[in-house]
Amino acid sequence: MNYLVLLRHGESEWNKENKFTGFKDVELSENGVVEAKAAGTSLKNIKFDAVFTSTLKRAYNTATLALTEAGQAHDLVKHDDLRERDYGDLTGLNKDEMRQKFGEEQVHIWRRSYDVRPPGGESLKDVVARVTPYYNEHIAPLVAAGKNVLVAAHGNTLRAMLIILGENTPENINNAEIPTGVPLVFEYEQGKKQKNYFLKKAA
């Protein structure tokens, strides 16, 4: 059996401040550091063969903190294709303030619709389009070969991966919630996906 683990970065400073973050390279919050370390504690029983992350520090620092906590050292494979969704003109703006300005429904459409872009930004459909070829070329062959792979990235990157993996569709991806700092483990046997589950820190 081998594993593909998807790990959303720990809470960032802008998560804490309820801001649209996107491509902005912000630090983990103190709580985010705690979350990343807790993820590593829960992953101690999986020895990773490869680790992929985005080029944004909240993702690769989460990977580094988790791996250190798990007692593993790894070179990280970083790539822009694994970055968060680009929120365009909304980047850095407070979500509640935007709801007051544009209305709850419009902000919900920008945040959660599959194919509507926020002004100057990307839709989730766009994220799927950039993550798919990267996953197929670099990650999928390792999983198929029986390797254990960690992907530390972002909420929308990982939602895109749920579509790529066939766990969700564009119609129901809104139902997928990926908490910060909690590993989502996919088990494979002889190249075939068996089940998936969130991995909480061992008591």
- Span 2-198 CATH architecture: 3-Layer(aba) Sandwich (3.40)
Whether 183 contacts 158, CB under 8 Å: no
**Both structure tokens of 151:** 């992907």
Q: Is 72 exposed, middle or buried (0-12, 13-18, 19+ CB in 10 A)?
A: middle
Residue 85 has a CB neighbour count (10 Å cut-off) of 25
Catalytic annotation, pick one of 9, 11, 69, 122: 9
Please state the rounded mean pLDDT for residues 21-50: 97
- pTM, entire model: 0.95
Whether 185 contacts 196, CB under 8 Å: yes
- Between strands 192-198 and 50-53, the pairing is unpaired
Active site residue 138: no
Active site residue 189: no
Average pLDDT, the chain: 95
Per-residue pLDDT reduced to its tens digit, 71-85: 998 899 999 999 999
Catalytic annotation, pick one of 11, 35, 84, 122: 84
The predicted pLDDT at position 202 comes to 45
Per-residue pLDDT reduced to its tens digit, 171-192: 999 889 999 999 999 999 998 9
